[in-house]
């Protein structure tokens, strides 16, 4: 996959490891509440000399504590219209038994992220950061969730 080197230098290339599960009620997506910035998907910056899939695995572990054993599958590239960022979505096939959990991350000097499952067919609440509302819409289209 070709990466725009200017955007990479500007730290505008983002990876978004997507974890979903299917329940009796339909598909759910893993999200978290950031203590300062609302409800979000796991997302982070591609580092220089790093492969996109490796960055997705790293970000998933750093932000959630989940360690992906297999390679994630590329889903799509999305121009977020937020700060000139280009996001690369990866499907991460991982079994997660917990309904909710907290994870401490070093992100931004250290935060506790509260993870939970969001039904993909449900619209995001006002607690969602706007760019993540748009990202969820994009993923709903990808997964054909009405």
Span 57-107, pLDDT tens digits = 999 999 999 999 999 999 999 999 889 999 999 999 998 889 999 999 887
* pTM value > 0.85: yes
The pLDDT value given to residue 142:
92
CA of 135: how far to CAs of 36, 52, 79, 85, in Å? Answer: 19, 18, 10, 12
Reply yes or no on whether the pLDDT at 108 is more than 80.
no
Residue pair 75/59 in contact (Cβ under 8 Å)? The answer is no
pLDDT score recorded for residue 146: 54
**Is 63 buried (19+), middle (13-18) or exposed (0-12) by CB count in 10 A?**
buried
Superfamily of domain covering 5-141: Nucleoside Triphosphate Pyrophosphohydrolase (3.90.79.10)
Residue-wise pLDDT tens digits, 53-71 = 999 999 999 999 999 999 9
**Percentage of the chain modeled with pLDDT above 70:** 99
Residue pair 41/120 in contact (Cβ under 8 Å)? The answer is: no
Q: In whole numbers, what is the pLDDT of the chain averaged over residues?
A: 94
* Count of Cβ atoms closer than 10 Å to residue 6 Cβ: 10
Spell 12-40 as b/e; 16+ CB within 10 A means b. bbbbbbbbbeeeeeebbbbbbbbeeebbb
Look at residue 19 in the predicted model and tell me its pLDDT. 97
2-13 average pLDDT score = 90
């Amino acid at each position: 996959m070709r990466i725009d080197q200017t955007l990479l230098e500007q730290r505008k290339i983002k990876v978004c490891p997507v974890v979903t599960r299917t329940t009796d009620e339909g598909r759910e997506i893993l999200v978290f509440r950031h203590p300062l910035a609302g409800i979000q998907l796991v997302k982070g910056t591609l580092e220089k000399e790093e492969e996109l899939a490796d960055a997705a695995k790293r970000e998933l572990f750093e932000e959630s504590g989940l360690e992906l054993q297999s390679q994630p599958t590329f889903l799509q590239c999305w121009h977020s219209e937020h700060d000139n960022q280009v996001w690369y979505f990866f499907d991460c096939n991982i079994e997660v038994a917990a309904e909710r959990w907290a994870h401490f991350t070093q992100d931004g000097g250290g935060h506790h992220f509260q993870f939970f499952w969001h039904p993909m067919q449900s619209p995001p609440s006002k607690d969602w950061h706007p760019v993540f509302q748009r990202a969820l819409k994009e993923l709903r289209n990808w997964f054909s969730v009405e």
